[in-house]
Amino acid sequence: MELWYTEEHTKNVRFSIKVDKQLVTKKSKFQRIDIFESKEFGRFLTLDGFMMLTEKDEFIYHEMIVHIPMAVKNDAKKILVIGAGDGGTVRELVKYDSIERIDMVEIDKEVVDICREYLPKTACKLDDPRVNLYYEDGLKFVRSKTNEYDIVIVDSTDPFGPGEDLFTREFYGNCYNALKEDGILVNQHESPYYEADAEATQRANKQLKAVFPIATVYQLHIPTYPSGHWLFGFASKKYHPVNDLKADEWNKLGLETKYYNTELHKGAFALPNYVKKLIGQE
């Protein structure tokens, strides 16, 4: 007997991974949580049946969501992370000795608990003394913050279910207020490739542009996400993601990365024409 995990990327496209065994299946207050073991991708986490990360390719996602803003604003000391229950974003952030405080807000404590136990490669730095964990709604948490954070990283699920409120103009407006005068917001922005995902990308970018003076997207390639072509949003009150890149300073830090480098940083903002058209940058 063969066991396969299959995710429907569209009504006509499916993505499958052969599974050795299922390690966890649990229904939390918010969603169904599953962990599988596979030969090709190692352990992987799904929420409500949707792929969140695999041990083999998560480094791509987590390095690009963290090091892009940190290489632009390398004096950032206080970071807000919304979502990121698997711990990978925090793992990358704690590489920076200059960061003094990381507030991580995750709505579902059971995701964090399960990842601590079954995905220690990503959850390994959640006990760093600079990390403060809050198990609550990210939208409500950020509402009460003003001029407090250097960088806000929104590492959310897709724009439905528990993550739906993290793609609204109200939420982005609250993030704007929570940021200091030269603050940066980075968020998960879906894929530009399949129609439904592209519409979500377009909506999110439009909402960011309505709030921030600088708002664009950058790309990465991650095998286990729909189409493999994925985007993050970059929004800032002051800094341009390429013109204000502090490449020399970042490289002097000597941080170990498997995907990110400062040349790739520049290239990630060089977008294909169909993506430019999608977000109105023609």
Active site residues: 155
> Tokens standing for 23?
């390690």
Q: Are 31 and 47 in contact (CB under 8 A)?
A: yes
Q: Are 46 and 34 in contact (CB under 8 A)?
A: yes
Residue 264 phi/psi, 5° resolution? -60, -35
* DSSP designation for 20: S
Q: Where are the alpha helices (DSSP H) in 212-253?
A: 247-252
Cα gap 193→65, rounded to integer Å: 20
Q: Kindly give, in sequence order, each residue whose CB lies less than 8 Å from that of residue 159, ignoring residues fewer than 6 positions away.
A: 166, 167, 190, 200, 203, 204
Cα gap 100→46, rounded to integer Å: 32
State whether residue 197 is helix, strand or coil: helix
Q: Classify 227 in phi/psi space as left (phi over 0), alpha (psi -120 to 50) or beta.
A: left
